[in-house]
Structure 1
């Protein structure tokens, strides 16, 4: 009888909800509640960490979008400059051909030998490199992270 009173008084001293429950069951319930509280705290911290990570990734995305837009506008500018330069190249090449043909006529009429320069291949085919292609050697280890 005395042990029952001790269990009841111990239960009522700690938490009145557990007054009628034996000691082992009461400790287990308290332990489970504490474990659930810790689990909720961990879950809340995880959610907050994910929210922080999402904010950081959104900021990085905005920066990357700005960089992409900047590079795209630079590309458009360079492309338009390239178009202008190609048109100028074509015009200058035509003018050089015309001048060379005038020199050839003058050479034939005067009978004097003139040094008529050839039109460089680079002007006729600007996509070709001015220097010969050299092989690039690579190994598989260069591409591994």
Structure 2
């Protein structure tokens, strides 16, 4: 039986071991530092996102309040418009009844009654109550 002779390390290999250990130690230290910075960046990003969520929720809440305010205002205006439309319809019906009565009296008596046309824009909303005039402006119009 032949035994393998034990490998003997040369003096140059022994000299390299401390240098390799030092590089390995430095690399490990660098990796630890890099991982620490990465965790810090991740933590900072998480905090930034949490702050943004809080800000966006607050902004969303403010917008919801404004929307609700506008919705209430719209509903109030719509209700008032409905009342006004109903009044216009009632007044239009009354006007038509009065005009019918005037025509009946004219036909019955044979006397023409002079009833001027109303210039009320609500009676004839398709007619423009005021003539359109050109608008003129100049650059120095608002100078004091």
TM-score tier, shorter chain, comes to 0.5 to 0.7
* Cα displacement (A) at 1:107: 1.6
Give me the TM-score of the superposition, normalised by structure 1: 0.67
How do 1:37-48 residues align onto structure 2 when only pairs under 5 Å count?
A: 37-48=36-47
Corresponding residue number in structure 2 for 1:32: 31
Q: Which runs of 5+ in 2 are unaligned?
A: 1-10, 130-144
Cα distance in 1 for residues equivalent to 2:53 and 2:67: 20
Q: Secondary structure at the match of 2:46?
A: helix
Q: 1:63 to 1:28 in 2, by over 3 A?
A: same
Deviations 1:41-89 (A, max 9, x none): 0001000000110010000000010011111111111111111111101
Cα distance in 2 for residues equivalent to 1:113 and 1:123: 26
Cα distance in 1 for residues equivalent to 2:82 and 2:112: 38
Higher percent of residues as helix: 1
Cα distance in 1 for residues equivalent to 2:127 and 2:45: 56
Cα distance in 2 for residues equivalent to 1:74 and 1:129: 29
Q: Secondary structure at the match of 2:76?
A: helix
Give me the TM-score of the superposition, normalised by structure 2: 0.68
How do 1:108-123 residues align onto structure 2 when only pairs under 5 Å count?
A: 108-117=107-116, 123=122
Deviations 1:12-37 (A, max 9, x none): xxxxxxxxx81000000000000000
Alignment RMSD (CA, Å): 2.8
Aligned pairs, number: 115
* Cα displacement (A) at 1:38: 0.4
Q: 1:90 to 1:49 in 2, by over 3 A?
A: same
Q: Secondary structure at the match of 2:114?
A: coil
Corresponding residue number in structure 2 for 1:104: 103
